[in-house]
Chain A
Amino acid sequence: MAIEVRIPTILRTYTGGEKAVDGEGASLSALIDDLEANHPGLKDRLIEEGDLRRFVNVYINDEDVRFIGGLEAELKDGDQVVVLPAVAGGAA
């Protein structure tokens, strides 16, 4: 079972420069653990204190996972996962 995960530029240091990698897992949480096994360090850039980092967005088939269960969002073979860092900042 393979799920394509698209990796943003800033995290490609963990994937040997690859724009997309394959992973597996029945939930986003399991997928991230699987990715971590092959690309050590990636998990820490996605998760903080057991939850998705505030300024990292993850999408499953075009949907922000925050609206579909977060780390518990379900995955199946052929799903596409996209990771995008938030574009944010400001004077504060």
Chain B
Amino acid sequence: MLTIDQATYDAIVAHAKRDHPDEACGVVAGPEGSDRPERLVEMVNAAGSPTFYEFDSTDLFQLYKEMDANDEVPVVVYHSHTATEAYPSRTDIGLASEPGAHYVLVSTREHGNNDGPVEFRSYRIIDGVVTEENVRVVPQLSSD
């Protein structure tokens, strides 16, 4: 199960809506071993595409350097699908390389840049196997 706070959830949805019709992407970092998505980092989709996303290689390096310095890991790796459902594509599965992360998919196909509900789903993707998990949105992450 992914437990995420409302503000981070809302920020991911807002990012996806803002970048629609291109795919939006980013991570939520958290302390290593905590499974707590605490620090949202919106990334630029270097592919600038409605059907593909990729972190810019220099941004990627800076991100990992920063996480390393903070003893953080990418607890959540998110991106949007803008014309299809919020389910990992074959490409997503083939390129998933963070076995410890929750892969969040947001679909903006219904309302695009406008207000309205989105699909927000979370998965584990390990060795090509996709397992969907529940998403629990809480007002705030508990302090322990």
Spell out A's residues near B (CB within 8 Å).
8-10, 55, 57, 59, 62, 64, 66, 82, 84-92
Q: Count of A-B contacts with CB under 8 A?
A: 86
Residues of A within 8 A of B58 (CB): 64
Residues of B within 8 A of A59 (CB): 61
As a 0/1 sequence over residues 92 to 117 of chain B, the CB contacts with chain A under 8 angstroms (1 = contact) are 10011111100000000000000000
Q: Is chain A's interface secondary structure helix, strand, loop, or mixed overall?
A: mixed
Residues of B within 8 A of A8 (CB): 97
Asked if A62 contacts B61 (CB within 8 A), the reply is yes
Spell out B's residues near A (CB within 8 Å).
23, 25, 27, 43, 47, 49-55, 57-58, 60-61, 64-65, 73-74, 77, 79, 81-84, 88-89, 91-92, 95-100
Please name the 6 residue pairs, one residue from A and one from B, whose CB atoms are nearest each other, closest first: A85-B97, A90-B52, A92-B51, A89-B92, A88-B54, A91-B81
Distance between Cα atoms of A89 and B123 in the complex (Å): 14
Asked if A91 contacts B97 (CB within 8 A), the reply is no
- If the complex has contacts A90-B23, A92-B52, are A84 and B60 also in contact, measured as CB distance less than 8 A? yes
Residues of B within 8 A of A86 (CB): 54-55, 57, 60, 95, 97
Distance between Cα atoms of A19 and B27 in the complex (Å): 21
Distance between Cα atoms of A9 and B74 in the complex (Å): 11
Residues of A within 8 A of B89 (CB): 89-92
Chain A, residue nearest B92 (CB): A89
Asked if A91 contacts B61 (CB within 8 A), the reply is no
Residues of A within 8 A of B61 (CB): 57, 59, 62, 64, 82, 84
Distance between Cα atoms of A59 and B60 in the complex (Å): 11
Output the residue of A9, A62, A82, A88 with the most chain B CB within 10 A: A88
Distance between Cα atoms of A10 and B91 in the complex (Å): 17
Asked if A91 contacts B57 (CB within 8 A), the reply is no
Distance between Cα atoms of A85 and B73 in the complex (Å): 14
Asked if B47 contacts A90 (CB within 8 A), the reply is yes
Asked if B52 contacts A88 (CB within 8 A), the reply is yes
Asked if A88 contacts B53 (CB within 8 A), the reply is yes
Chain A, residue nearest B74 (CB): A87
Q: Can you name 26 A-B residue pairings with CB atoms under 8 Å?
A: A9-B98, A9-B100, A55-B97, A57-B57, A57-B60, A62-B61, A62-B65, A82-B61, A84-B60, A84-B61, A86-B54, A87-B25, A87-B55, A87-B74, A87-B97, A88-B47, A88-B55, A88-B91, A89-B52, A89-B88, A90-B53, A90-B81, A90-B91, A91-B91, A92-B49, A92-B52
